[in-house]
Amino acid sequence: MFIQRINLHDATILNKTWHLQQEAYKVEAQIIGFDQIPPLLETRKQLQGVDEIFYGYWIGDELCGFISYQLVDGVIDICRLVTKPTHFKQGIAQALLGFVERNEQTHILRVSTGATNGPACSFYQKHGFRKVGEKQITVTLRLIYFEKGL
């Protein structure tokens, strides 16, 4: 197992990242009852062009999870925290979050998730995030915003 920066300009890595994103966000879509989650709609080219920092959790040559974020003025905005569905509840998301917390110069972490995504909401609260807001996005989708001070 190792965590390393993901280079989305490497076609093989891009493909692995995109496929994992599709797998994981399909599960989230089922949980929250909303299949228009932006990462599910992204093409590989769009994924490659996002302005985010990516780190992957690897077991051998298998990408089992990744985190992406933007870092602006000491604030980390977590954009994606993804685990391969066959590897849920094995500490991968926790390892990726901990890696970013230890290796970035930041004071605040922010993240949002679907309000009905119980596993994600529990995960963030378990790891010290507190709810700071909610927003109704569509008739069927409400987001919860979490924040953690370091």
Distance CA 108, CA 41 (A): 29
Is the pLDDT at 43 greater than 90? The verdict is yes
86 band by pLDDT with thresholds 50, 70 and 90: very high
pLDDT for residue 26: 97
| Residue-level pLDDT at 150 | 82
Output DSSP code: residue 66: E
Instruction: Return the number of other C-beta atoms located less than 10 Å from residue 94's C-beta.
Output: 16
pTM: 0.95
30-37: average pLDDT: 93
- The band of 119, judged by pLDDT with boundaries at 50, 70 and 90, is very high
Q: Which fold is adopted by the domain 2-149?
A: Aminopeptidase (3.40.630)
Say which residue the tokens 């974020």 belong to.
69
- Residues in CB range of 16: below 8 A, 6 or more apart: 63
Reply yes or no on whether the pLDDT at 51 is more than 90: yes
In DSSP terms, 10 is beta-bridged to none
User: CA–CA separation, 93 vs 140, rounded Å?
Assistant: 26
Average pLDDT over residues 104-129: 95
| Mean pLDDT, the chain, whole residue set | 96
Q: Give dist(CA 111, CA 78) in Å, integer.
A: 5
Residue 105 has pLDDT above 90, yes or no: no
Q: What is the pLDDT of residue 116?
A: 95
> What pLDDT does residue 79 have?
98
What residue segments make up the domains of the chain, in order of their start? 2-149
